[in-house]
Every structure is written in C-alpha cells, then in structure tokens.
C-alpha cells in the first residue's frame, strides 16, 4: 500500500511539474524545437533542471544498500546502441516534433479534455500495440542454440 501511495505521489508531482513548466502546451514544445524560427529556449531550463535532479538522485541512490520498496535495485546493464534504440529514439523525436506531445505531458494534458490530446493518446496506444504485435518480433534479439 505504501509503495502504491508513493508511486501515486511521485506521478502527481511529476504531472504538476509538467503543467507548471508548460510542457503540456504543444505550441510551446514545438517553438522550443523550432531552432531556426520562433525558438523558445525556456524548456531547455526545464530539461536541464530535470537532468540535475536526476543526476543528484542517482548519486544518492548509488550510496544506498537497497531501495525502500523492493528487494534490490534494478540498474541498467546495457550501454550499447542498437537498431531498436535508434528507431525508438527517432520515432519518439518525430512524434514529439509533429504533435508537440510526448507520453508524460500527454497524460497530464488529458485532464484538459481537449480532442487533440485524446487523438495523440489513442495513436500512441495504437503504436505501442503495433510495435508489440508486428515490429518487436522482427527486431527482437535472435536466440542462438
């Protein structure tokens, strides 16, 4: 129960930060990405702040013996660049640039009740389903016997 409540609290704080920073506004995001036109650098401060907080959190967590709500830490073990990482990053960036949303801000913006947000979320869910059904089998690591 405490794990669920702490997850809910973290999600609410994250969502509130997205709202306050303006990341749920597609025009603000698209202006940030438009470096040759109406560039709005304010989201760089948001992202830079997020990186500083994340780096500080990882620094502190590396000193802990175990997490609060799990038996062990699940640190990333891979550091290679593969086709799945490249295609996923490119798809994420293209979608973010075209729609002005990425998954976190879109979920936060769903509370606004605007049709474009729901269209984005439906397309995102459909894309996840398509990936799992079609592409994941093609790009999955091959088992060797």
pLDDT digit string (tens) for the chain, length 145 residues:
888 999 999 999 988 988 898 888 888 888 988 889 888 999 899 889 999 999 999 999 999 999 888 889 988 888 899 988 898 899 888 888 888 888 888 998 998 888 999 999 999 999 888 888 887 666 656 555 5
**Which residue from 46, 55, 2 is spatially nearest to 22, judged by alpha carbons?**
46
**Which residue from 93, 92, 84 is spatially nearest to 136, judged by alpha carbons?**
84
Buried b (16+ CB within 10 A) or exposed e, 8-25: eeeeeeebebbbebbbbb
In this structure, is residue 67 part of a structural domain?
yes
- What pLDDT does residue 127 have? 86
In this structure, is residue 144 part of a structural domain?
no
Is residue 116 classed as helix, strand or coil in its secondary structure?
Answer: helix
What is the pTM for the complete model shown?
0.71
In this structure, is residue 64 part of a structural domain?
yes
Q: Which domain holds residue 25?
A: 2-139
In this structure, is residue 13 part of a structural domain?
yes
**Pure H helices in the chain:** 2-21, 26-33, 42-61, 83-99, 103-109, 115-130, 136-139
- What pLDDT does residue 87 have? 87
- What pLDDT does residue 51 have? 94
In this structure, is residue 145 part of a structural domain?
no
**Which residue from 42, 45, 75 is spatially nearest to 57, judged by alpha carbons?**
75
- What pLDDT does residue 144 have? 55
Count of structural domains, the chain? 1
- What pLDDT does residue 90 have? 93
- What pLDDT does residue 55 have? 95
In this structure, is residue 87 part of a structural domain?
yes
In this structure, is residue 93 part of a structural domain?
yes
């Amino acid at each position: 129960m405490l794990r669920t409540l702490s997850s809910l609290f973290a999600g609410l704080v994250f969502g509130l930060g997205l709202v306050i920073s303006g990341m749920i506004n597609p025009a603000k995001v698209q202006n940030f990405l438009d470096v040759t036109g109406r560039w709005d650098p304010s989201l760089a401060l948001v992202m830079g702040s997020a990186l500083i907080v994340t780096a500080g959190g990882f620094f502190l967590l590396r000193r802990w013996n175990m997490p609060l709500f799990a038996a062990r830490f699940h640190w990333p073990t891979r550091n290679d660049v593969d086709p799945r990482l490249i295609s996923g990053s490119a798809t994420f960036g293209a979608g973010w640039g075209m729609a002005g949303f990425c998954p976190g801000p879109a979920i936060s913006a769903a509370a606004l009740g605007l049709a474009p947000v729901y269209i984005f979320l439906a397309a995102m869910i459909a894309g996840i389903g398509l990936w799992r059904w079609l592409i994941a089998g093609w790009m999955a690591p091959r088992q060797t016997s």
